[in-house]
Structure 1
Amino acid sequence: MKHGTLTTRGNRVELRFERRLTHPPEKVWRALTDSKELAHWFPARIEGAREAGAELRFFFEEGDPGTGKISVFDPPRVLEYTWEGDLLRWELRPDGAGCLLVFTTIPADRANVARDATGWHFCLDNLEAAVDGNPAAGFDKERFSALNAEYAARFGLGSFPAFLTGPANRVSEASLRLPGVEAYVFDGADGTQLTLCHAKSDADTGEQWRDFDEYLVVLEGSYTLTINGMDIQLGAGREFVIPRGARISGRFTAGTRTLHALGGRRFERAPA
């Protein structure tokens, strides 16, 4: 299977790809470590010694270079190094006349994992082409967008981007009164409010009344809305409009993220 898979490792995630190649580990190892071979498929130029403990620098055509370090160098079996906080591990396992390439990465930012998966998917396609002696495929914007959308649907983001979760927008615990849930609030000029919620554990909102309309979207996970005594199960991608005057409660499962657009202002920010 050429698509990457995502596994939770504690509070981090691991992105994993497996590719069966018709070439021995020694040939694929050269594609992973030789600068001339890397130029056919790797997204940056790598400078630095190829040995355990070596410092690395990663260069693009524009911008400042990135940094990293080799932690495992065991030819032709295991290569592991860091790149700007991401851990990259390449394993080659003999498989008949060829080998199984297992690539795993632990991204520093979970919010970018769909984009990362798309990028590495393309890189591995080009790696396969390179060891087969074929030219790399050119960048196909439409295919990249479609594959990125597919990975986003498979994985979700897992968390909100950092620019949305600054301390200035954090909802105070006294205002939220919902242990296990983090929330961030944004006030509209017209008196409305937008709130982002991320359940770190299962949580129950308790019953409450709405004195304004609410638009609810489940971005990831599962949320049970109870409205006027009726349970409504909402999965990722589901939306619901809660009318003013409704008697409601909600139950989050751990990992669920929701967006709430409120017709009034309910939450206060945490004190600075």
Structure 2
Amino acid sequence: MKNGTLITKGNHVELRFERRLAHRPEKVWRALTESQELAHWFPARIEGAREVGAELRFFFAEGEPGKGKISVFDPPRVLEYTWEGDVLRWELEPEGTGCLLIFTTIPADRANVARDATGWHFCLDNLEAAVDGKPAAGFDKERFSALNAEYAARFGLGSFPAFMTSEANRVAEGALRIPGVEAYAFTGADGTELLLCHAKTDANTDEQWRDYDEYLAVLEGSYVLRINGMDMELRAGREFVVPRGARVSGRFSAGTRTIHAVSGRSLGRGGA
């Protein structure tokens, strides 16, 4: 299984990859730490001493260099350092004549995790090729796009982008009447209102009679819509139109993100 997995740990997530390599840890360690070997697969050039506490700089062809610091340096078993807020940890476990490489990263920004997973997936493919003595695969735009879409579908963003969650658009929790749900409202020139909801905990909405049509889309997680006495579970990627006159309530699972849209009605003051 070469694909990365996403694990929630407390208030952060961890992206994890496991690769079984047909080489001893000592050889793979050189690929992880020596500049001439890193050039075959790592996305940036790294400058800095290879020792605990050493400051690192990461260079691309253009732009300012990134910064980091080594926190664990235990040859040939564990290497851990930061890169612009992300924690990168490489572990090597002997397995017969080869080893198991475990790569984990704690991203500084949860919203970038699908993109990061795609990038690291390609880097690890090239690392495998490098230690096998094979040339790195060229950049395949179509494969990158397909893999990124796959990771995005599996992981979601985890939160709305920062430009959509300004304080000017935040809905007061008391006005929304759904404890545990963070919401942001946007109103169009024609009165159409869009409400973004992010459940920080499991949450329930009160039952209401709808005097307007409502469009509902689930971006991530699970939302149970109770409509006219019938429960309908909507998972990520599902959408639904609640018709005018329906009797509805809802139930969010923690982490769920939804979009609600209506015309001529303020969801931000009337509940979701």
Q: Which amino acid aligns with 1:36?
A: Q
- Can you give the 5+ residue segments of structure 1 that lack an aligned partner in the other structure? none
Match for residue 144 of structure 1? Answer: 144
Shift of 1:150: 0.9
Secondary structure (helix, strand or coil) at the match of 2:136 reads coil
State the alpha-carbon separation in 2 of the partners of residues 92 and 265 from structure 1: 57
State the alpha-carbon separation in 1 of the partners of residues 155 and 208 from structure 2: 32
Q: Verify the 8 A CA contact 1:171 1:267 in the aligned structure 2.
A: no
Identity of aligned residues (%): 82
State the alpha-carbon separation in 2 of the partners of residues 114 and 92 from structure 1: 24
**Which segment drifts farther, 78-87 or 235-244?**
235-244
Secondary structure (helix, strand or coil) at the match of 1:146 reads helix
Match for residue 169 of structure 1? Answer: 169
Q: Verify the 8 A CA contact 2:184 2:268 in the aligned structure 1.
A: no
Q: Which amino acid aligns with 2:113?
A: V
State the alpha-carbon separation in 1 of the partners of residues 220 and 205 from structure 2: 18
Shift of 1:134: 0.7
Asked if 1:65 is matched to 2:65, the reply is: yes
Q: Verify the 8 A CA contact 1:223 1:234 in the aligned structure 2.
A: yes
Shift of 1:111: 1.0
State the alpha-carbon separation in 2 of the partners of residues 268 and 249 from structure 1: 16
Q: Verify the 8 A CA contact 1:218 1:257 in the aligned structure 2.
A: yes
Q: Verify the 8 A CA contact 2:195 2:261 in the aligned structure 1.
A: yes
Match for residue 89 of structure 1? Answer: 89
- Can you give the 5+ residue segments of structure 2 that lack an aligned partner in the other structure? none
TM-score of the superposition, structure 2-length normalised?
Answer: 0.96
Q: Verify the 8 A CA contact 2:222 2:252 in the aligned structure 1.
A: yes
Shift of 1:254: 1.2
Asked if 1:102 is matched to 2:72, the reply is: no
State how 1:68-79 maps to structure 2 within 5 Å. Answer: 68-79=68-79
State how 1:32-47 maps to structure 2 within 5 Å. Answer: 32-47=32-47
Secondary structure (helix, strand or coil) at the match of 1:175 reads helix
State the alpha-carbon separation in 1 of the partners of residues 43 and 163 from structure 2: 26
State how 1:1-272 maps to structure 2 within 5 Å. Answer: 1-268=1-268
Shift of 1:232: 1.5
State the alpha-carbon separation in 1 of the partners of residues 257 and 45 from structure 2: 37
Q: Which amino acid aligns with 1:215?
A: Y
Shift of 1:174: 2.4
Query: In the comparison of the two structures, how many residue pairs are matched?
Result: 269
RMSD: 1.2
Q: Which amino acid aligns with 1:90?
A: W
State the alpha-carbon separation in 2 of the partners of residues 210 and 56 from structure 1: 57
